[in-house]
Amino acid sequence: MSHPSKPLLRWGLPLIFTAFFLLFVLWLNSAGKIPLVSRAGQSFETGVVTEILQDNLQSDGTRSGEQRVLVKMTSGVRAGTEQVTTSSSGYLFGAGCTVGMKVILIQSVAGDSTVTAVYSPDRGGVLLLFAGLYLLTLCLVGGRQGVKGALGLAFTFLCILFVYLPMVGRGWSPFWTAVFVCAVTTLVTLWLIGGPTPKTAVAVGGTVSGVVIAGAAASLFSAASGITGWNVSDIESLMTLASAGDIQVGGLLFSGLLISSLGAVMDVAMSISSAIREIYDQNPALSRGALFQAGMRVGRDLMGTDSNTLILAFAGSSASMLVLDYAYDLPLLQIINSNNIGIAVMQGLSGSFGIVLAVPVTVLLAVAVYPRNRPRNHSQSPSTLFPAACSPVHPQEKSGTKNA
């Protein structure tokens, strides 16, 4: 017979957490945003190109100037009508329109007057298709665990949209907001994957510790180098936010670092927690010292690859900047002292500090927690957070009791 605390732990606490979290999210998103730019009468709508009135295709295959095209509107107040519009040949805006192409238009309506311009090709369907294919692949390959991983990914994405952004918009510290979001998403993701077990608790503790260590390392780097959140390339636009509301622009850089390092730190913490749990279940006679040494051997193998992952991720995001620096043959002193390079180095190294130091923290947590949940025999599955109430009785123990 199952102990009454087990269903409470498995279902009761998650339901209570979900209820309070939903109320918190609704409260966060109830406040209106401060309009930075007036968009009265302007909207983004969908349409389909039906005719090319004037093309801008040159003899050498390039485009110059603007196209004039006829577009049938498929959304908005002018849906069903055909509008003559223009499409620029820029790399950031506009599109090389062809008949039948689905496009996104910027539409401005004032009475009977309508002005439109092609903003971009309509990529919404492609984005949804690839996201759906990824989730489907994750579920097919990962099975039940893949489904749980997909749910965790969806929860993380929704937290960034409906928790992180509204909290920052209300003037809360971006750094501590990121810590809160990382803690919540880590708890939910690992709970879905591992359930209410000591393994999950250790992994959550190791992940949150690693993320906070990464933030602390970035703060120390910032204080020593003079690089702050005010040195980012889009600071002029962010200054508008700072002057119009309570957003703490200076902390956005560091909060972004925490979120970007979360995945790698979570991977390390869960891998170590799971490995030590398995080692201990196979040999419960191991001392704490031996268990610590085994966990560190596992952790050292993970350090190099996951630290390399973060360094390569931040280097890859700065590839265009690095190529420009190389093409212009900038002096080394200029490159290493530029704000952009300094920020990239800070992000990569601080995240790597979080990964490396998350290893001993996770191992220490596992060594402290697992011996308190010592299994009764080698074949027993990992216990829950309340092992005494939830562990099944071995058949041999039952027979022994009867014989006695």
Q: Which of 148, 325, 182, 342 is closest to 264 using CA atoms? A: 182
CA distance 82 to 108: 15
Position 379 scores a pLDDT of 43
Position 193 scores a pLDDT of 85
Position 402 scores a pLDDT of 42
70 by DSSP, 3-state: which? strand
Structure tokens at 150: 């997909």
For tokens 């971009």, what's the residue? 120
Estimate to the nearest angstrom the gap between the alpha carbon of 395 and the chain centroid. Answer: 46
CA distance 168 to 376: 49
State pTM to two decimals: 0.77
**Are 278 and 270 within 8 A, CB to CB?**
no
Position 120 scores a pLDDT of 93
Question: What angle (nearest 5°) sits at the alpha carbon of residue 176, between those of residues 171 and 180?
Answer: 110
Residue 246 DSSP code:
-
Residue 301 DSSP code:
H
Position 161 scores a pLDDT of 92
Position 391 scores a pLDDT of 42
Position 312 scores a pLDDT of 80
Position 163 scores a pLDDT of 93
Position 204 scores a pLDDT of 94
Q: Alpha-carbon torsion 219, 224, 230, 234, what sign? A: negative
Q: Could you report the average pLDDT of every consecutive run of 10 residues in the chain (404 residues)?
A: 55 80 89 70 91 87 87 92 89 87 92 89 93 92 89 92 90 90 92 87 94 91 84 74 75 86 90 92 89 91 78 79 85 86 85 91 93 56 41 44 42
Q: Quick one: residue 171, left, alpha or beta (phi over 0 = left, psi -120 to 50 = alpha)?
A: left
